[in-house]
Homo-oligomer: A and B are copies of this chain.
């Protein structure tokens, strides 16, 4: 369904007014606010067409119109009128992120805080899924007999550690041997590849080798296991209460419930991980009852061209897209940039002493 210039103009005006006020928009208002110089009556004709084609709807006979899901989608797909964030904002974010130092989790947590404060919405930052990242180094540390901590260092400066129980016969010397072996044979492969290889070895090794070897393989397997507790940094939840006059509480509650149910949340967000650049999910378009009336905007950040994590915001469908979209986009870009710089130089310059 295509719209001509005037229809588009009217629709956009309705969307903008509705976003601003949260109230149905009447023909008078559109006539005044749009660049078209038409009388309310003419606007009404156009609006009748738009309603026919399902771009706007009417709460009741004598009310103005509000954009339908369709209408929002059309508006968003032709992302016009995006604000341009001032260069200071970019500088501010960048320097704040650099200042967090080399600790990835702090950088991402800080990114989330910044995003929520500049977008005035709930922000989400998802830690990298480390599946497709090459790893550089592994170490085992014996916490006590039978308990080992594994430390995996990845490209891009990421570190993942895990506590693993092992056979209590295993000594510190054994651990060093294990790690040397792994470092030698698997360096430079992705976690996914390493895991596949170890699995095949485990199959072969069954019954052919001694206990120690089998235990070593198990230790390796667990170390390289996908990180099932991928973190999500959430900030700015209180922004959901802005304009709460227009929101109903049960729906808000569902959002909070969703934010705590990390697995469901990740399932929703992971949809957008593969996509090129920014994506916008309207709750009503998907079949998540949790997010009807809410919209998720996400943009992936990448390392060496591969998307590894996600920056998102969740806000009411009638949020201020012109401000929020550039903010999400910018945050994701800066994170990518930061990652790749760290990776490029493989050393961190001018890092302030914490």
Q: Could you tell me which A residues sit within 8 Å of B by CB distance? A: 101-103, 106, 137, 139, 141, 143-147, 149, 151, 153, 157, 159, 161-165, 168, 222, 229, 235-238, 240-241, 244, 249-250, 252-254, 256-257, 259-260, 346-348, 351, 353-354
Contacts and interface: CB of A to CB of B under 8 A. Distances in A.
What secondary structure prevails in chain A residues at the interface with B?
mixed
Given A149-B151, A348-B147, A253 B229 contact: no
A159 B149 contact: yes
Given A151-B161, A235-B260, A238-B260, 8 more contacts: A137-B143, A146-B347, A146-B348, A147-B348, A151-B151, A159-B161, A236-B260, A241-B249
A200 to B, nearest CB: 20
A101 B163 contact: yes
A244 B238 CA distance: 16
A222 B101 CA distance: 13
Contacts of A165: 101-102, 348, 351, 353-354
Contacts of A351: 165
A222 B354 contact: yes
Given A235-B260, A238-B253, A159 B146 contact: no
